[in-house]
Structures are given as C-alpha cells and as structure tokens.
Amino acid sequence: MKVVSIAQMRELDRQTISAGVPAATLMDRAGEGLARIVADLCQRRGQSGAAILLLAGRGNNGGAALAAARHLLAL
C-alpha cells in the first residue's frame, strides 16, 4: 500500500474525477473498503454482528463513513 499526502490525494481525486469517474463513486468505493476492513476485523475478533459506531462529520470523510454504514448494513 502506498501512503500519500493530503495534497497528493486531492490531486489524485481531481485527476480521477477529470477522467470521468464520478466523485460519488470514489466515495462509495472508500466506504466499501472501510466496511470490508471493519467486517474482517470484527470477524477475526469473534465479534461478527457486533454494534459498530461510525461518526460522520462534514466533508468527504463523513460521506465515506455513511457509505461504509450502508455497506455494513448490507452484510
């Protein structure tokens, strides 16, 4: 996994959106990835079906948290 700075991530997002990928798709993919990580972690700890609290603030991270919640509910 490559770690990028905030400025680099913003530029990558800008380029991806300019290439035709909708911002909503990027947010949904981030949420799906987060949901998979959380579900895998719960399963490894023997806590499948555990209650999970996601805090969603303003901005894209909040949107990704809401997308993650939607994906977790679908599991």
Q: What angle do CA 54, 20, 63 make, to 5 degrees?
A: 10
pLDDT at 73: 94
Please name the residues in contact with 69: beta carbons below 8 A apart, sequence gap of 6 or more: 31, 35, 54, 56
Mean pLDDT over residues 19-42, rounded? 95
In this prediction the pTM is 0.82
Give percent of the chain with pLDDT exceeding 90.
Answer: 85
1: pLDDT strictly greater than 80: no
pLDDT at residue 24, rounded to an integer: 93
Tens-place pLDDT, residues 48-73: 888 999 999 888 789 999 999 999 99
pLDDT at 58: 87
> Is residue 65 within 8 Å of 31, Cβ to Cβ?
yes
Say how far apart CA 56 and CA 64 lie, in whole Å: 8
Q: Give residue 65's pLDDT.
A: 94
